[in-house]
Amino acid sequence: MAGSQSQSDKDKARDAHILMSRYERLYREKYDRRPRINRYSAKWGMMDVIDSVGNIRTGELLDYFFKTPSEHTLEVFYRNFDKMDTQLDLICADRAYRAMLARQTEERVKEARDQHRE
């Protein structure tokens, strides 16, 4: 049992390092310089985010984070990831609602045109 737990910890640490590399890439793209981070200590915060929202969602949140008008430090990300997670859910729900409204409007317009032709 201890062996499987340590493997899980190793996987989480690996995922955290992969996501920190993603953070560094996004930071370089935005600011044209490397961020100053201590990867060893930053790993623990990233692992906590992964534990909270999952690996894939953490990557989505990093992408969204760099679209916000924020100070793009890992500390700010760690402090606000839960709020960004909620915000992304709201944005996705809003997009789905707007798409549904657009489809309904298109159907109504088509019905009105068909009735007008008759």
Sign of the C-alpha dihedral computed for residues 59, 61, 67 and 70 taken in this order = negative
Total number of domains in the chain: 1
Q: Which domain holds residue 113?
A: 2-117
- State phi, psi for 19 to the nearest 5 degrees: -70, -30
50 contacts 19 by C-beta, under 8 angstroms: yes
Q: What is the pLDDT of residues 24-63, one digit of tens each?
A: 999 999 999 999 999 999 999 999 999 999 999 999 999 9
Split at pLDDT 50, 70, 90, the class of 19 is very high
Report d(CA 70, CA 24) in Å as an integer. Answer: 16
Q: What is the pTM of this model?
A: 0.78
| Identity of the amino acid at 8 | S
